[in-house]
């Protein structure tokens, strides 16, 4: 590090910046190059003092190599994190991909002690696998209360729809996670559950006053703070009753007055990604970073331009806009957090152990719902699959049961996705273009859940009308929903009792296997077929 005071200051500021990179070693394999730095720039920033990296993509074994590489490139201890809210396998192939947290909320209503035990095991599994991959910080648990079923971005990521449920399950997850020596993060403060828009695309407005926040949004955060959570992530949403001008991420009234003073949180405050449009539409990269740091954030996550953010904060400190004590407090919190981290346990390429596999299967079994309609018959028909991401879809890679199990019964797979051929006619009462899809019965499998960057587009698809259309024409062989319980409840209300159907909050291959095994048994063994003619 240079002895020049200006360089020394920038090096300190840089340690509070967390940039994004691919979990893959090769630049050419980056999936999102607009956000993921190439290796040349990443190495330069780490050598300049950048103190954290958020990683996404690749395999869990490759992530082991990647985190070792990043540590070699830096002269300081790094915060290495990932958004693995549903286990390491959600983002990194080969790790355990667990059912979304909302699945445990429904179990908690029936079997609270079992749900709490599973949530703790969920946290421990996530922490142990993160540590084996070289990560020391998990950006979870989500503490948002998903009381708004139309929420397009939280949805199944939440631990519940009631504050007490979220507080209990998120605390159990944190207990398991912290037992592994991996840092946790309560997010998105002060609560993103009651929004109908996506902060990746726009700035949501939460019109509630402090009394309402104390009643619904804040209890899970209070519980996690009391439990000693290491960090809290901010939300990009506007709360006019607390700050009429700045979103929570940039608001001193929210971060310093509410979070620090009123809730007595003394750990790290980290912004949500500053590249999200809720921020970039209104502020440049330097000013956004300055406003967040000025408001009380310690760590600047994914600024649109890391170098501009470092220079902007350094300038604000030099000119006296931000007191130097603000920098020293943030640096001290970072040092204290790193002291609590266990050493990486990345020498063993075996990421998943038997207890992890058992947990994954038990979570799926505990959250599976079956509609009493018998089994799906063998027939020459269509396996119509709607996936909620661009192809290739992680849930349908390789020998995905959703593709191959029905194929064994004669159902030809037809995939539709946001960037594929539209299956819709402009006919409200019969929207599905069955004439284009082909003849025969239709097994309908919908992979739908709240997803960032999609806004209301998924809800605009007329699946209720399509279900009625298929049933009216006696062409619906079965229905499976993977993901959103709200879509399941909406469509289940339209189902003929004789139609076999099932719901799983998980979309991973093991969830598909369990769902289809439950639906296909019975009539498959008998080789029965059904009459789908009028």
Would you list the domain boundaries of the chain? 5-339, 368-526
| Residue 28 burial by Cβ neighbours in a 10 Å radius (0-12, 13-18, 19+) | exposed
Measured CA to CA in angstroms, residue 271 lies from 89, 250, 355, 465 at distances of: 24, 9, 34, 41
Q: Which residues are catalytic?
A: 200, 272
What pairs with residue 53 in β-bridges?
19, 80
The whole-angstrom separation of Cα 158 and Cα 485 is 12
pLDDT attached to residue 198:
53
Q: What are the pLDDT digits (tens) for 244-256?
A: 999 999 999 999 9
Identify the residue with better confidence: 468 or 398. Answer: 468
Q: Is the pTM of this model over 0.85?
A: yes
Residue with tokens 């609590």: 340
Please state, as a whole number, how many other Cβ atoms lie within 10 Å of the Cβ of residue 16. Answer: 27
Mean pLDDT, the chain, whole residue set: 91
The whole-angstrom separation of Cα 233 and Cα 54 is 14
φ and ψ at residue 253, rounded to 5 degrees: -60, -30
Whether residue 3 is predicted with pLDDT greater than 80 in this model: the reply is: no
For residue 110 the two structure tokens come to 């029936």
Instruction: Give the per-residue SS3 of 406-475.
Output: HHCCCEEEEEECCCCCCCECCCCCCCECHHHHCCCCEEEEEEECCCCCCCCCCCCCCHHHHHHHHHHCCC
CATH of 368-526, one of 3.40.1280.10, 2.30.42.10, 3.40.50.10870, 3.90.78.10: 3.40.50.10870
Please state, as a whole number, how many other Cβ atoms lie within 10 Å of the Cβ of residue 468. Answer: 18
pLDDT over 70, % of the chain: 92
Domain 368-526 in the same topology as domain 5-339: no
pLDDT attached to residue 382:
96
- Decide: 139 and 81 in contact? Cβ < 8 Å: yes
Whether residue 78 is predicted with pLDDT greater than 90 in this model: the reply is: yes
For residue 408 the two structure tokens come to 């064994």
Instruction: Tell whether omega for the bond before 88 is within 30 degrees of 0, i.e. cis.
Output: no
The whole-angstrom separation of Cα 302 and Cα 269 is 14
Whether residue 166 is predicted with pLDDT greater than 70 in this model: the reply is: yes
Whether residue 523 is predicted with pLDDT greater than 60 in this model: the reply is: no
- Decide: 252 and 296 in contact? Cβ < 8 Å: yes
Beta strands in 276-350 (DSSP E): 300-301
- Decide: 147 and 216 in contact? Cβ < 8 Å: yes
CATH of 5-339, one of 2.30.40.10, 1.10.10.10, 3.60.70.12, 3.20.20.300: 3.20.20.300
pLDDT over 90, % of the chain: 76
């Amino acid at each position: 590090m240079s002895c020049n005071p200006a360089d020394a200051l920038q090096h300190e500021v840089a340690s509070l910046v967390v940039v994004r990179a691919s979990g893959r070693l090769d630049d050419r394999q980056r999936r999102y190059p607009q956000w993921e730095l190439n290796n040349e720039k990443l190495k330069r920033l780490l050598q300049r003092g950048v103190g954290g990296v958020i990683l996404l993509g690749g395999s869990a074994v490759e992530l082991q190599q990647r985190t070792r590489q990043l540590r070699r490139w830096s002269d300081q201890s790094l915060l290495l994190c990932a958004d693995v809210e549903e286990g390491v396998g959600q983002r990194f192939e080969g790790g355990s991909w667990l059912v979304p947290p909302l699945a445990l909320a429904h179990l908690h209503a029936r079997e609270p002690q079992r749900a709490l035990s599973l949530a703790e095991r969920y946290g421990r599994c996530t922490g142990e696998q993160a540590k084996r991959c070289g990560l020391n910080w998990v950006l979870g648990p989500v503490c948002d209360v998903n009381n708004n079923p139309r929420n397009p971005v939280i949805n199944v990521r939440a631990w519940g729809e009631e504050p007490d449920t979220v507080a209990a399950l998120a605390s159990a997850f944190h207990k398991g996670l912290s037992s592994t020596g991996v840092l946790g993060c309560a997010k998105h403060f002060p609560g993103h559950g009651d929004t109908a828009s996506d902060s990746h695309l726009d700035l949501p407005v939460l019109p509630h006053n402090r009394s309402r926040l104390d009643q619904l949004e804040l209890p899970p955060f209070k519980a996690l703070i009391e439990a000693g959570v290491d960090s809290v992530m901010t939300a990009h949403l506007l709360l006019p009753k607390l700050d009429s001008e700045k979103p929570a991420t940039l608001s001193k009234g929210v971060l310093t007055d509410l979070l620090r003073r009123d809730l007595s949180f003394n750990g790290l405050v980290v912004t949500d990604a500053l590249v999200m449009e809720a921020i970039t539409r209104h502020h440049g990269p330097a000013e956004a970073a300055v406003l967040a740091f000025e408001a009380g954030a310690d760590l600047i996550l994914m600024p649109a331009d890391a170098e501009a953010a470092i220079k902007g904060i350094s300038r604000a400190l030099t000119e006296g806009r931000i007191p130097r004590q603000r920098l020293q407090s943030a640096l001290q919190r970072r040092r204290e957090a790193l002291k609590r981290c266990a050493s990486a346990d990345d020498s063993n390429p075996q990421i998943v152990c038997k207890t992890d596999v058992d947990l994954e299967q038990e979570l799926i079994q505990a959250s599976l719902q079956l509609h009493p309609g018998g089994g799906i018959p063998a027939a020459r028909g269509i396996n119509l699959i709607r996936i909620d991401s661009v192809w290739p879809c992680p849930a349908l890679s390789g020998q995905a049961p959703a593709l191959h199990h029905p194929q064994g019964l004669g159902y030809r797979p037809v995939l539709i996705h946001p960037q594929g051929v539209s299956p819709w006619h402009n006919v409200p009462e019969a929207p599905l273009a069955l004439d284009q899809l082909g003849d025969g019965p239709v097994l309908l499998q919908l992979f739908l859940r709240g997803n960032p960057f999609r806004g209301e587009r998924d809800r605009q698809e007329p699946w209720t009308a399509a279900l009625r259309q298929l049933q009216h024409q006696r062409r619906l062989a079965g229905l499976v929903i993977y993901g959103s319980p709200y879509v399941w409840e909406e469509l289940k209300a339209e189902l003929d009792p004789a139609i076999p159907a099932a719901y799983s909050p998980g979309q991973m291959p093991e969830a598909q296997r369990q769902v289809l095994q439950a639906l296909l048994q019975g009539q498959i063994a008998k080789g029965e077929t059904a009459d789908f003619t009028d």
